[in-house]
Amino acid sequence: MTKLRELTQRYVIVFVVVLTVAFHYIMHLVSYVSSLFTSDLLIYDSISILLNMIWPVGLALLLGYGFVFKQKGFGKTLKAGAGFAAVYFLFSIFSVATALQKPNAQWQSSSAILVSVVLLIGIGLREELLFRGVIANALALKYAKSTKGIWLTVLVSSAAFGSVHLFNYFAGVNFGTACLQSLVGMAAGAMFCAVYLRGGNVFAIMLIHSLVDFSGLFQSLFLKNNGNEIDQMNQLSWNSMIMIPLFFLLVAFLLRKSKRPAVLERMETLRETYGIKA
């Protein structure tokens, strides 16, 4: 495990590109394996969610990034992301209230709602563990020895996170929407990375990520007659571009000059504690 981690540190940019591309194919593999067990949609979703919550943990341990499960700072990380989380909490309330006002609004079955809740948790776990717990850490451990290194970590990890949304095109999302998702995903990824660098606890980021996804996917996951996730994604408006500069302004605020020394110190402590060679 340590040798694998050292290898990723040595060729970290190559590692980021390979893991980002592999993410897409692993997701397809999970879908295929799940389909072998059943044709029932609810059971299929349950198996997919379970596998998608297991394989990232196993991959992180295999690559030698198991230390992310031991890091403290849950409250500190939530505090760093409080403004970001609050915006989406308010947006979630608005989204729920608006959806329930529709004349054809009907709740999904209790079992489907339960699966949807676990799905949101699973998405947050999978993506935050891979893109912040592994990729952002790999970049920060190597480069975050200066201000430039912090910004390089944020930009590369967020670019990787944004790029995976382009693969939604192959799932049925139209190309323009997939490009928009990629841009917004990059900005959101930068935000997630900044919060993680400030606080250092991946579980808190998973929670915030799940809240963000709840606000975006509420109608398709929890209500009937609102289409599936692909339908709702295709309704994404280019007005969402306004979120991109907003997110990057929040990133600049979180990683302002007075806060960067603490980030650099935390990464140096991490290197020393676990004997990681940058």
pLDDT tens figures, 93-102: 776 777 777 7
Return the top range by mean pLDDT from 89-103, 153-167, 204-218, 237-251: 153-167
Return the top range by mean pLDDT from 41-55, 100-114, 122-136, 175-189: 122-136
Give backbone dihedrals phi and psi of 151, rounded to 5 degrees, phi first.
-70, -35
Q: At what angle do helices 110-128 and 41-62 cross, to 10 degrees?
A: 20
Please give the residue that has the higher pLDDT: either 76 or 171. Answer: 76
In degrees, to the nearest 5, what angle opens at C-alpha 188 toward C-alphas 131 and 7?
A: 20
- Residue 20: pLDDT band (50, 70, 90) is very high
Which residues sit opposite 107 in a β-bridge?
223
- The candidate with the shortest Cα–Cα distance to 197, out of 260, 272, 121, 275, is 260
* Total domains present in the chain: 1
Q: Mapping DSSP to helix (H, G, I), strand (E, B) and coil, where does residue 223 land?
A: strand
Residue keyed to tokens 């609050």: 86
Q: Can you give the pLDDT at residue 8?
A: 87
pTM of this structure: 0.89
Indicate if the pLDDT at residue 12 is higher than 70: yes
Q: In angstroms, rounded to a whole number, what is the distance separating the alpha carbons of residues 204 and 98?
A: 28
- Provide the domain limits for residue 230: 2-274
Contact 2, 64 (CB under 8 A): yes
The token duo for 123 is 């998405």
In the Cβ-directed half-sphere of 70, how many Cα atoms lie within 13 Å?
9
Give backbone dihedrals phi and psi of 70, rounded to 5 degrees, phi first.
-105, -10
Contact 246, 183 (CB under 8 A): no
